[in-house]
Structure 1
Amino acid sequence: MRILKILSLLFPIALAASGQSRIVDKVIMIVGDEPILLSDVEESRISYEKRGVIIDNPYSAIPEQIAIQKLFIHQALLDSVEVNDSEISADVNERINTYIEEFGSRQNVEMYAGKSISQLREDLTKRLREENLVQGAQRNLTKGIKVTPAEVREFFRDIPQDSLPMIPTQVELQILTQEPQPTPEEVERVQEQLRDIARRVNAGETSFSAQARAYSQDGSAKNGGELGFTGRGQWVPEFSKVAFSMNEPNKVSRVVKTEFGFHIIQFLERRGDRVNVRHILLKPQIENSEYNRLLLRLDSIGNDIRDGKFTFDAAALALSDDEDTRNNNGLMVNKAQRNTLTSRFKMSELPAELARVVDTLKVGEVSNSFMMDNGKGKTVCAIVCLKNRIPEHRANMTEDFQELKDVVFAHRCDEKIDEWIREKQKTTYIKIDPEWKHRNFKYPGWVKDN
């Protein structure tokens, strides 16, 4: 049943408790001062099983996974790795709301999970916090790793051709977008609503967090609008300028316009060069007639390009509203790629609406107009030209250097982490139950001669 599949993904711990007869729990390993329980292993095993994930030798692999996580969490605490509790809280709230939508009510969620919403919240918060600590420790461990072109060539020199990674189909695109605009009356309505909220909060008539939960159109609404401690460069300039100019706790700012819409900001606290604020985001509504007007205009532009009246390059430079591509003659740049700029996209890296359009185009063809999410929470109208399609192929140094470099980088990171685990085992107190000593562990250092 679909609901059981969803449940196995969302509530592995609950399924483990409710789907199996109760076992007698015991400590099977201690890493540092952290115990690993038999129930921990069983819960993970059942979670993998419910998801259809096959784990070879689960009673060896799973306790070892948990033990390695304990090592990294301990290292994260030594390294003073910071986690953003506000972001975690917002993530937990979003997940719980998703569960409630999937199951229809809070009561259904609690029934299927076998625990209260507050217990689920506590479990999720603990799990996400540990994941953040592990990731932070691993980033610290691998941040100094660099890969040179010579190392890439050397790494792949003797690898058989059929062992090289497959590179999926990639495309290069030019895009011309136009952003629909709200009426002046709608803009004034939104601004006045925000000004009214600010007046009421500053007068003590209501709380900012309650208003954020009720009205904000940002994901932070579930967390009362709180964004957590953030550096100046992590927000768009207009928002950052106001947020970092505020000093009076709980005071609410004037209305701030950004590319995302209109905001009011409440200052909470400053720590060094970071501040924590709440905000409310409202986006003016766009009339359907405005979308229809732009779609017709873009179809007209596309027809003129096909008729040779002007090029897509010239049209994008003169008419596109997208600042990221306009001055590049509409050419899209793949910002998801690490440490490099490339105009190539895998189809899976494109917004869904754009991928569907591109899939039907021939090289050099200009699409009909369509609507898409611009990645900033706004729906825009667009036409696109397929400049190039690179079919699926085996990676080669000429065309796919960055992909091969990423493979080498990942290999170097794995080597560094592997070496670190082996050394960390030597300096960490580890005690293992005699019945578990003869498991087929990857790292033999769990079993010490003492």
Structure 2
Amino acid sequence: MRKFGIAIFSFILFITAVQAQPKHTLDKIAGVVGSSIILQSDIELKYATNIAQGMQPNPAFKCLILQQLLTQKLLAQQAIIDSVEVKDDEVDADVDRRMRTMIQRAGGQDRLEQYLGRTVLQYKDEVRPDIKEGLIAQKMQQKITTNVNTTPQDVEKFYKKIPVDSLPTFNKEVEVGEIVFYPKLTLAEKEAYKAKAEELRKRVIGGEDFGKLARLYSQDPGSAPNGGDLGFADRTAYVKEFTAMAFKLKAGDISPVFESTETGFHFLQVIERRGEQVHVRHILIIPVVTQESLTRAKTMADSIYTLLGKNKTIDFSSAAAYYSDNKDTKFNGGMLLNAESVETRSTFIPTDKLDPQVALVTDTMKVGSISKPFLFTGPDGKQGYKILYLKSTSNAHKANLAQDYPKIKEFANNEKVGRTVSEWFEKKRKETFIRIDPEYQGCPVLKGWSTPTPAIVDVTPAESTTKP
């Protein structure tokens, strides 16, 4: 947190220095795309933001920023022609999401406003137009590539184009299934936490400041520093219990205390409704797992292990669907997915990308075997018990279609999408007037972007040699 604060402080010093420069230098036009202009200040602000987020200073990066802005302007202008739009609710949700992240990293809204030298509302108003244009550009690019389809023939053709000595080498991979058992508290064990939430709600109803109580007592690390404020979001943003409560209340209403099975006890206040977006703040009290509940989870895990192993009365996939507490894997037969191949939903995971706890257990397992239940700690700090199933393993090898078709298809599809987008930009650049300031004309990534300047033809009449 301290490191980020220093970075943000450096960012503000940078912005202050930029703002102190002569106006004609700050706001010179760095680029023109059709009827839109890109100011030098736009580039400097994005450059400073990247430095604040940890990037090493590198003036050449401004070339990439200008290329991104030129690209965004081209897409946004075509979006107007094609009637591609984004709703205000989508823009508000994205702005709020970004602000929540910045507030959390800065250590609270007050500190962020101090760093920015302006209120959060002022800053949101400043960045909203650029964020909206960026979202429109994204939708336009999706429209350009929506009909891209990669066939098996395309995959084979792509693979055969790769020189044999250039084929990538894939590390050892495994397919692993899991059944997760989280400890569950009894009603009696949860009562003290519910009572604490009820007490805080009574204090809010009695007139105490909601935001102050949230900062002091809420156990949601993402919103507590911001007074429990979650910003605008749609129905897909929250777990079902939270969504049901948030969308049935009117602006200003405070909910009763309710339980979310995935987090704990909440109560919330609706600040504003905008169509299918709701702006809420909440206070969360998280029950602490007891040793008794952890022991009950282990007992459950042991009984399922017995059913899978000795008795063989149920297969692993069915057991995961019925008993696993991990919603991300239970409906996939318990199989873990490769986080780097989301689109293809590949179950083949490089061993160096496995969770260390899973890697340690599977390293001694045979293909087709099931592990005994073991205690684990998740990234969120939650403890539980887990049973693993090693479905398959493959040693490090050169890429080939038989073993690696899903990955090669993803590469082929990415190339086809990239080629489609590049061809669209090549055509659009020729049809659109684009001017780039001389300061950036030497940038390699901007070569070919400027509209050629027509040659000037001398039409001055030649001096006559005939005497009157």
User: Normalized against structure 1, the TM-score is what?
Assistant: 0.73
Return the match for 1:81 from 78, 86, 100. 86
5+ long unaligned stretches in structure 1: none
Closer/same/farther in 2, CA of residues 198 and 140 from structure 1, 3 Å limit? farther
1:215 corresponds to: 217
Shift in Å at residue 422 of structure 1?
2.9
Closer/same/farther in 2, CA of residues 139 and 17 from structure 1, 3 Å limit? farther
Tell me if structure 1 keeps the 8 A contact 2:184–2:297: no
5+ long unaligned stretches in structure 2: 455-468
1:139 corresponds to: 142
Closer/same/farther in 2, CA of residues 373 and 139 from structure 1, 3 Å limit? farther
Q: Distance in 2 between matches of 1:230 and 1:186?
A: 33
Where do residues 292-307 of structure 1 align in structure 2 (5 Å cutoff)? Answer: 294=297
Q: Does 1:185 align with 2:188?
A: yes
Q: What are the superposed Cα offsets for residues 9-39 of structure 1, whole Å, 9 maximum, x if unpaired?
A: 99668569879x9896544333343333289
Question: Aligned AA for 1:30?
Answer: V
Larger gyration radius, structure 1 or structure 2? 2
Question: Aligned AA for 2:378?
Answer: D
Q: Does 1:447 align with 2:451?
A: yes
1:258 corresponds to: 260
Shift in Å at residue 168 of structure 1?
3.6
1:95 corresponds to: 102
Shift in Å at residue 396 of structure 1?
2.5
Shift in Å at residue 251 of structure 1?
1.5
Tell me if structure 1 keeps the 8 A contact 2:270–2:279: yes
> Residue 228 of structure 1: SS of its match in structure 2?
strand
Q: What are the superposed Cα offsets for residues 300-322 of structure 1, whole Å, 9 maximum, x if unpaired?
A: 976x6998565894694676444
Q: Distance in 2 between matches of 1:18 and 1:445?
A: 31
2:285 corresponds to: 282
Closer/same/farther in 2, CA of residues 348 and 220 from structure 1, 3 Å limit? farther
> Residue 149 of structure 2: SS of its match in structure 1?
coil
Tell me if structure 1 keeps the 8 A contact 2:176–2:391: yes
Q: Distance in 2 between matches of 1:76 and 1:208?
A: 42
Q: What are the superposed Cα offsets for residues 171-209 of structure 1, whole Å, 9 maximum, x if unpaired?
A: 2123232211234334222223333444554x4624545
1:389 corresponds to: 393
User: Normalized against structure 2, the TM-score is what?
Assistant: 0.71
Q: Does 1:237 align with 2:240?
A: yes
Q: What are the superposed Cα offsets for residues 333-391 of structure 1, whole Å, 9 maximum, x if unpaired?
A: 5577444444333446654543454456554362661223287x843222323332223
Shift in Å at residue 152 of structure 1?
1.9
> Residue 86 of structure 2: SS of its match in structure 1?
coil
Shift in Å at residue 230 of structure 1?
0.5
> Residue 230 of structure 2: SS of its match in structure 1?
coil
Q: Percent identity?
A: 27
> Residue 285 of structure 1: SS of its match in structure 2?
coil
Closer/same/farther in 2, CA of residues 425 and 311 from structure 1, 3 Å limit? same
Where do residues 396-407 of structure 1 align in structure 2 (5 Å cutoff)? Answer: 396-407=400-411
> Residue 444 of structure 1: SS of its match in structure 2?
coil
Closer/same/farther in 2, CA of residues 391 and 9 from structure 1, 3 Å limit? farther
Return the match for 1:345 from 339, 349, 354. 349
Where do residues 16-415 of structure 1 align in structure 2 (5 Å cutoff)? Answer: 25=26, 26-31=28-33, 32-37=35-40, 40=43, 44=47, 51=55, 61=64, 63-72=66-75, 79-82=84-87, 83-100=90-107, 116=117, 122=123, 126=127, 129=131, 132=135, 134-201=137-204, 203=205, 205-218=207-220, 219-223=222-226, 224-231=228-235, 233=236, 235-244=238-247, 246-260=248-262, 261-291=264-294, 294=297, 308=310, 313=315, 316=319, 320-322=324-326, 330-333=334-337, 337-347=341-351, 350-351=354-355, 353-355=357-359, 357-358=361-362, 361=365, 363=367, 364=369, 366=371, 369-373=374-378, 378-415=382-419
Shift in Å at residue 134 of structure 1?
4.7
Tell me if structure 2 keeps the 8 A contact 1:369–1:381: yes
Closer/same/farther in 2, CA of residues 287 and 16 from structure 1, 3 Å limit? same
Tell me if structure 2 keeps the 8 A contact 1:306–1:366: no
Decide which moves more: 86-95 or 69-78.
69-78
> Residue 398 of structure 1: SS of its match in structure 2?
helix
Q: Distance in 2 between matches of 1:6 and 1:250?
A: 34
> Residue 413 of structure 1: SS of its match in structure 2?
helix
Closer/same/farther in 2, CA of residues 281 and 144 from structure 1, 3 Å limit? farther
2:436 corresponds to: 432
Q: Distance in 2 between matches of 1:342 and 1:290?
A: 34
Question: Aligned AA for 1:85?
Answer: D
